[in-house]
Amino acid sequence: MAKQARAIQTRRMILEAAGAVFDEFGYESATIAEILARAGVTKGALYFHFASKEELARGVLGEALTTEGVLPQESRLQEWVDIGMVLAHRLPAEPLLSASIRLSADRKARDLFGTSWEGWIDFIAAQLAAAKDQGELLPHVDVRQGAKLFVGAWTGIEIVSTALEDGETLESKIAGLYDYFLPAIAVPGALRGLDTAPDRGARVWESYQAQHAGEATEGEAGGER
């Protein structure tokens, strides 16, 4: 069990190093040697988990569709806001996440591995459909169209953001995106209660971490009993 936990941790370290290298150099120019150097693991350990650069890229993309840090909310629209805001909070500190956008935007890498965009669109469409079922959306809203536009817009704002040196955080921009999108889709009643402040992602992420830390401690305590 401890051995398995270590293997999971090693795999994670390798993926994070691969994410950083893909993010910085792009898929073509990234080398296994550079990933090895950053991961600080042996060649044997890397090849045990990933047989090739292709498999590393697939591994990185496999981590891209994550809602870790999002907590269930009564309002499904608030949950949708939290998904985008937590990601905007996490992404600048997690090369594994930004790398998946770089790989998806790179036409050559995309032809090899596909993207996580279809998965994201399905996920966001389901989230918006749940909000609609709860009466939070205007009746004419096409949830699939909304999900497509949102995933495209979120992605583009991140990509353009990395090129602009305007001192504005990604969180602040994505908060703005929600403020632009929401009046077009939400019923006024649902709109009023929503929290789209730029620090929403950070607050939700901290609550999640605190809750998660608590659970881990409980688990350990349970083991000692």
Q: Of all residues in the chain, what percent are helix, strand and coil, respectively (each to 5)?
A: 75, 0, 20
- Number of H-type helices and E-type strands within the chain: 12, 0
Output phi, psi for 194, to 5 deg.
Answer: -80, 140
Dihedral angle computed from the Cα positions of residues 199, 208, 150 and 101, in that order, rounded to the nearest 10 degrees: 100
User: Is 102 a binder of a copy of itself (CB under 8 A)?
Assistant: yes
Distance between the two ends of the chain, CA-based, in angstroms?
19
Output phi, psi for 51, to 5 deg.
Answer: -75, -15
Candidate list 156, 215, 217, 218; residue touching a copy of itself; CB under 8 A:
156
- The sign of the CA dihedral 198, 86, 200, 85 is positive
Q: How far is the CB of 180 from a copy of itself (least distance, A)?
A: 4
Candidate list 185, 190, 194, 204; residue touching a copy of itself; CB under 8 A:
185
**Part of the chain binding a copy of itself (CB under 8 A), chosen from 1-9, 34-42, 62-70, 149-157:** 149-157
Q: How far is the CB of 126 from a copy of itself (least distance, A)?
A: 17
User: Is 65 a binder of a copy of itself (CB under 8 A)?
Assistant: no
Residues 106, 27: contact at Cβ < 8 Å? yes
User: Is 126 a binder of a copy of itself (CB under 8 A)?
Assistant: no
Candidate list 31, 162, 209, 211; residue touching a copy of itself; CB under 8 A:
162
**Part of the chain binding a copy of itself (CB under 8 A), chosen from 46-54, 66-74, 129-137, 155-163:** 155-163
Binding site for a copy of itself (CB under 8 A): 24-26, 28-29, 102, 104-108, 110, 114-115, 117-118, 121, 145-146, 148-149, 151-164, 166, 168, 173, 176-177, 179-185
